[in-house]
Amino acid sequence: MELKEFIEKSIQEITTAIHSSSKKMIEENTGNGIPDHQEINISFDIAVSAGDTTENSGSATIKVLNTLGLGASSKSGKETQEVNRLSFVVPVKVKTIGSKGGSVY
């Protein structure tokens, strides 16, 4: 999976889960929900590979490594890979449905 796609999907899944969790807490009366526009930090620690392949146009790509080895495929052509680790934090303001007793957005 391309690094960009992995980061986009991760942030989308996390923020969607926070939104639906807040809504469910209020609906089931198990909590007051999560305050709207709460800023959270999403930390990433990702193993990536940067590879050059002679199969295509000789371009370099950065991909998130599949540590479980699932979905592996074999290709013809010469490929070299370098494995690196990226660590970074993305601050995100999450829009929820507000909290019980407060405004609902």
Tell whether pTM > 0.85.
Answer: no
Residue 5 has pLDDT above 50, yes or no: yes
pLDDT digit string, tens, across residues 14-57: 988 988 888 888 889 888 888 777 788 999 999 988 766 555 55
What tokens appear for 76 in the block? Answer: 């013809």
Break the chain into its structural domains and give their ranges: 3-69+77-94
The alpha-carbon radius of gyration of the chain (Å, integer) is 20
Q: Alpha-carbon dihedral of residues 73, 76, 80, 86, nearest 10 degrees?
A: -30
Q: Which tops the pLDDT comparison, 33 or 75?
A: 33
pLDDT of residue 103: 46
Q: Which amino acid is at 68?
A: L
pLDDT attached to residue 70: 40
pLDDT tier at 67 (50, 70, 90 boundaries)? low
